[in-house]
Amino acid sequence: MRAVCWMGKQSIEVHTVPDPAILNPSDAIIRITRTAICGSDLHLYDGYIPTMESGDILGHEFMGVVEEVGSGVKKLKRGDRVVVPFTIACGNCFFCKSHLYSACDNSNPNAHIAEAAYGYSGSALYGYSHMMGGYAGGQAQFARVPFADVGPIKIENDLPDEKILFLSDIYPTGYMAAENANIQPGDTVAVWGAGPVGLFAAASAYMLGAGKVISIDRFPERLKLAEACGAFALDYSEPDLNVIEALKDLTGGNGPDSCIDAVGMEAHGETTGVYDKVKQALMMETDRPTALREVIQAVRKGGTVSIPGVYGGVLDKVNFGAAFGKGIIMKMGQTHMQRYLRPLLDRVEQGQIDPSFLITHRVGIEEVPAAYKTFRDKAEQCVKVVIDP
């Protein structure tokens, strides 16, 4: 099959590789019909995630048709149409049983590497380094899906792939970010980042009862999509704009009830270096976490900060005193995907949201290397790339 391979920092190539095969009775093989590039893939592209190896297959947002199932799979059969969540969970450990799927203890055979590097380990992820399990990703024509009775859900409607695909990550991620923001009816919610995660967070904040959502970014095409979700847009690159003051003006002086950091460690101008060895991850510092600092500074006293944006390693110079002094609540983490697939699929089927609204680029698999660069550079007004492999 053809697959998108990570060959090194900012080096992506499409190669012919062996088709995946069933390795365990609980596996399924999926023929992929649609997949996408995620903001999280950019951390790999830019070399921020340790333990990638040349030739690793990328991609964690995918859906398709079941080609083959292992002898232990009960819920799926050949021919079923499925969407696959990006976190791999066993469904059976203490954490899965507590619905903390992204903390699964059984899916990552390399958890000890992450623990040595970072002091923690979560569930395995598709296409996201050996430290995160070493599973081949879904930017390919086929993928092996472990714990196939736990992750994928069957799609039994006729909706096109583009309306279903983002259940694999960014829609649940934006939704959990809004849930983590403790939104009370009528609350004002500010969202840093109008990328795919920030856009779904903004849309979800309204679904969860927000009265006003404010989206902050610097790319006009992204802010326009935020406005289409009903948000008030702030362009933080405007020379005369002070984001904190603007948010105070919009909230009667208090600041937003909830603030969501949908940016993560690579906030504009914030990168400090490239780390390609696990031990260096211990020393990884993001010494100017602009978005996170602004989020803490802006939120009202007693308010909530929700962080879906990814942070790795050590974070320095966070205004923790302000967080403490204001008595804020902070919630964060990798999305517990398996919690959200069914309820969010229901919302899509009921027409409450059309998740395809943010797609700007559609490419075939051979065009993916160029598409990574376009998405990374936010060129050609790119917001989300969908791949037909």
Residues that bind Zn ion (CB under 5 A): 38, 40, 169
| Binder of residue 134, out of ligand NAD, Zn ion, none (CB less than 5 to 8 A by kind) | none
Site stretch for ligand NAD (CB under 6 A), options 6-14, 17-25, 37-45, 148-156? 37-45
* Minimum distance from residue 105 beta carbon to Zn ion (Å): 22
40 vs 304, beta carbon nearer Zn ion:
40
* Residue 196 Cβ vs Zn ion, minimum distance, rounded to whole Å: 8
**CB of 76 or CB of 291, closer to ligand NAD:** 291
Give the footprint of ligand NAD on residues 74-103 (CB under 6 A).
none
Looking at beta carbons only, is 142 or 175 nearer to ligand NAD? 175
Q: Could you tell me the smallest distance in angstroms from the CB atom of residue 3 to Zn ion?
A: 17
The rounded distance, in Å, linking the Cα atoms of 31 and 384 is: 22
CB of 266 to ligand NAD, least distance (A): 7
Smaller CB separation from ligand NAD, 166 or 206:
166
Task: Please identify, among the stretches 7-15, 72-80, 181-189, 216-224, the one whose residues bind ligand NAD according to the rule CB under 6 A.
Answer: 216-224
Q: Which DSSP letter does residue 367 get?
A: G
Applying CB under 6 A, the span of 9-17, 75-83, 132-140, 303-311 interacting with ligand NAD comes to: 303-311
Taking the C-alpha atoms of residue 232 and residue 254, their distance in angstroms, rounded to an integer, is 17
- Work out what residue 172 binds among ligand NAD, Zn ion, none; the CB cut-off runs from 5 to 8 Å by kind: none
Give the other-Cβ count within 10 Å of 380's Cβ.
12
CA-nearest of 170, 3, 153 to 66 is 153
Lookup: tokens for 364: 């075939």
- Asked if residues 3 and 17 have their Cβ atoms less than 8 Å apart, the reply is yes
| Three-class DSSP category at 373 | helix
CA distances from 56 to 15, 136, 196, 263, 351 (A): 10, 7, 24, 25, 37
Say which entry of Zn ion, ligand NAD, none residue 116 contacts (CB below 5 to 8 A, set by partner kind): none
Q: How far apart are CA 310 and CA 148, in angstroms?
A: 26
| Closest approach of ligand NAD to the CB of residue 205, in Å | 15
59 contacts which partner out of Zn ion, ligand NAD, none, CB within 5 to 8 A by kind? none
CB of 217 to ligand NAD, least distance (A): 5
Side-chain-facing half-sphere of 328: CA atoms under 13 Å: 29
21: which 2 tokens? 């095969």
Q: What is the per-residue binding string for ligand NAD in 226-245, x denoting contact by CB under 6 A?
A: ----------x---------
Q: At what angle do helices 243-250 and 290-298 cross, to 10 degrees?
A: 30
Helix axes 196-207, 170-180, angle to 10 degrees: 50
Residue 369: Cβ within 10 Å count: 17
Instruction: Compose the 327-356 pattern: x for residues touching ligand NAD by CB under 6 A, - for all others.
Output: -------xx---------------------
Alpha helices, DSSP H only, in 251-340?
A: 278-281, 290-298, 320-326
Around 258, how many Cα atoms within 13 Å sit in the side-chain half-sphere?
Answer: 32
Q: Is 195 in the site for ligand NAD (CB under 6 A)?
A: yes
SS (H, E, C) 135-148: ECCCCECEEEECCC
For residue 332, what are the β-bridge partners? 307
Contact with ligand NAD (CB under 6 A) among 3, 22, 32, 38: 38
Question: Closest distance between Zn ion and the C-beta of residue 165, in Å?
Answer: 11
Q: Which C-beta is closer to Zn ion: that of 38 or that of 145?
A: 38
- Contacts to ligand NAD by CB under 6 A: 38-40, 42-43, 169-170, 173, 192-198, 216-219, 222, 236, 262-264, 267-268, 290-291, 308-310, 334-335
